[in-house]
Chains A and B, each alone.
Chain A
Amino acid sequence: MTGTDILALAACGLVAIGLYGLVAQAEVLRKIIAFNLLGAGVFLLFGVVARRGAGAGLAADPVPQAMVITGLVVAFAATALALVLTLRLYQITGAATVAEDPPEPTAPDS
């Protein structure tokens, strides 16, 4: 087993932890954090593939690396939008979750 294999297993573990948090947690904010952990695991798998493709004097294959850089920026944009939606939901309904029966509107639009 090489060091890259160990980090590959960590990436799989990160995906599993993120997926569990996404499904099993109630608060939207925690779901967003878990989703980002899941995404970090997927990006790390790209990194493992890049490392395995090292060659031509490079430490890692540059193509998966470029894709991860693109992906990280897009993930940030998506997270920012998700957080603003969460905040807006809270401002309008006072809810921190997306339960099936939303609570009566409590917080006025401030």
Chain B
Amino acid sequence: MTAGLLLDLLLALAVLGTAAWTLAARSQFAAVIGFVVTGLLLTLVWVRLGAVDVALTEAAIGAGATGVILLYVVARLRGGEAEISAATPSRAQRALAALLALSVGGALAYGVLSLPDPAPSLAEAALAGTAPLGLGNPVSAVLMAHRGLDTLLEAIVLVFAVLAVWSMAADHRWGGRPGPVFQREEHGPLSLLARILPPVGIVIGIYIAWVGADSPGGKFQGGTILAAMWVLPWIAGLVRPPSVTDWRLRLMIAIGPLTFLAVGLAGFVVAEGFLAYPPGFAKPLILLIEAAMTLSVAAALACLIAGPPERRRRA
């Protein structure tokens, strides 16, 4: 058995072990920690699969940002033991669920092990289409050009998600600032970190978004780091979120999809059609979209983490 195979086996066992532990954890807090650990191990699995772009996204969004919002909700939920045990399925029902899960997992395993060999691949086609765009990272080329429609719709999904989260606010709180107020400890360790990390983190976030053109990285990974660099001072009590009616915040959230849509529509006039780039101008246009999208992803993720407005607007 080679070292690589052994590593894959260990990783697979660790992922399944932590996932099972997440379900079995006694407290919700422990379950969230189990989920974050599973996510970080999955990041290593993605590296083993040769998908470094996905590994970065999984670490930033799958484990990091999701873990933050889960912890935040756990801290505010106080489920009654009686209610939970009354709603827990009976032993027979759980056995049925296990049977269902095993048969679905088994069918998937059969399917995935009997995939055709050699596997069909779009790698060559994607790579051939990458060079004319001036991009060195084929994953970015797929995101921005070959499957640009997916990315545009995803950007719009983020805007709608922020709208949906905001609309969960009680009527009388509309127009307030999102999220709770955090206590500010002037000389605490968190305030110190929230003061020294953001200058470095903002540079790293922009760097990750910038190198996405040629190396692993991109707007989603960089935007998540930028969002974290705002969430950290917010949790430390150093800054307060803007009101949900602030037009600058709304512009920041919408500017990415709007730029993308505008360039896409311009494609009808100056190029072959919707979301097509005029030859020779692909790289600058993609950079423009990426820059606007990085800003919007950062603002939208920060708003999704902060949650609906919780305080009445001050007159």
Residues of A within 8 A of B (CB): 2-21, 23-27, 29-30, 32-34, 36-37, 40, 43-45, 47-63, 65-70, 72-81, 83-88, 90, 94-99, 103, 109
- Residues of B contacting A9 with CB < 8 Å? 12, 109, 112-113
The distance in angstroms between the C-alpha atoms of A27 and B108, with both chains bound, is 27
The distance in angstroms between the C-alpha atoms of A75 and B220, with both chains bound, is 13
Take A25-B88, A53-B119 as given contacts and tell me if A12 and B109 are in contact as well, using a CB distance cutoff of 8 Å: yes
Q: How many residues on B have C-beta within 8 angstroms of the other chain's C-beta atoms?
A: 102
Q: Can you name the residue of chain A whose Cβ is closest to the Cβ of B112?
A: A8
- In the complex, which of the residues A8, A69, A103 contacts B57, with contact meaning CB atoms closer than 8 Å? A69
Contact A17 B23 (CB under 8 A): yes
- In the complex, which of the residues A5, A43, A62 contacts B139, with contact meaning CB atoms closer than 8 Å? A62
Interface residues of B in 8-24 (CB under 8 A from A): 8-9, 11-13, 15-16, 19-20, 22-23
Contact A49 B119 (CB under 8 A): yes
Is B248 engaged at the interface, CB distance under 8 Å to the other chain?
no
Contact A76 B304 (CB under 8 A): yes
**Interface 9-residue window, one of B123-131, B197-205, B255-263, B267-275:** B123-131
Interface residues of B in 282-311 (CB under 8 A from A): 297, 300-301, 304-305, 307-308
Is B62 engaged at the interface, CB distance under 8 Å to the other chain?
yes
Residues of B within 8 A of A (CB): 4-5, 7-9, 11-13, 15-16, 19-20, 22-23, 28, 31-32, 35, 38-39, 42, 45-46, 48-51, 53-54, 57-58, 61-62, 65-66, 69-70, 72-74, 76-80, 83-89, 93-94, 97-98, 100-102, 104-106, 108-109, 112-113, 115, 117, 119-124, 126-127, 138-139, 141-143, 146-147, 150-151, 154, 157-158, 161, 164-165, 168, 170, 218, 220, 297, 300-301, 304-305, 307-308
Q: Can you name the residue of chain A whose Cβ is closest to the Cβ of B94?
A: A24
In addition to A3-B48, A7-B11, A9-B113, 14 A-B residue pairs with Cβ atoms within 8 Å of each other are: A16-B101, A17-B19, A19-B101, A30-B23, A30-B31, A40-B39, A52-B115, A55-B123, A69-B53, A72-B57, A73-B154, A84-B165, A87-B307, A103-B80
The distance in angstroms between the C-alpha atoms of A85 and B73, with both chains bound, is 11
Across the A-B interface, the 9 shortest Cβ-Cβ residue pairs: A59-B50, A16-B105, A96-B79, A53-B121, A77-B161, A10-B12, A3-B8, A52-B119, A99-B87
Take A12-B108, A53-B119, A61-B121 as given contacts and tell me if A90 and B77 are in contact as well, using a CB distance cutoff of 8 Å: yes
- Residues of A contacting B11 with CB < 8 Å? 7, 10
- Residues of B contacting A75 with CB < 8 Å? 62
- In the complex, which of the residues A10, A13, A72 contacts B61, with contact meaning CB atoms closer than 8 Å? A72
The distance in angstroms between the C-alpha atoms of A51 and B115, with both chains bound, is 13
Contact A81 B165 (CB under 8 A): yes
Contact B50 A51 (CB under 8 A): yes
**Can you pick out 29 interface pairs between chain A and chain B where the beta carbons lie within 8 Å of each other?**
A10-B15, A19-B97, A19-B101, A23-B97, A24-B97, A24-B98, A25-B23, A26-B89, A29-B28, A30-B31, A36-B62, A44-B42, A47-B46, A52-B117, A54-B121, A56-B127, A61-B126, A65-B142, A70-B150, A72-B58, A73-B61, A73-B297, A79-B69, A81-B161, A84-B164, A84-B165, A84-B307, A90-B76, A99-B86
Contact A76 B62 (CB under 8 A): yes
Contact B49 A50 (CB under 8 A): yes
The distance in angstroms between the C-alpha atoms of A108 and B89, with both chains bound, is 28
Contact A60 B12 (CB under 8 A): no
- In the complex, which of the residues A20, A37, A55, A70 contacts B38, with contact meaning CB atoms closer than 8 Å? A37
Tell me the minimal C-beta distance from A6 to chain B in angstroms.
5
Tell me the minimal C-beta distance from A39 to chain B in angstroms.
9
- Residues of A contacting B121 with CB < 8 Å? 52-56, 61
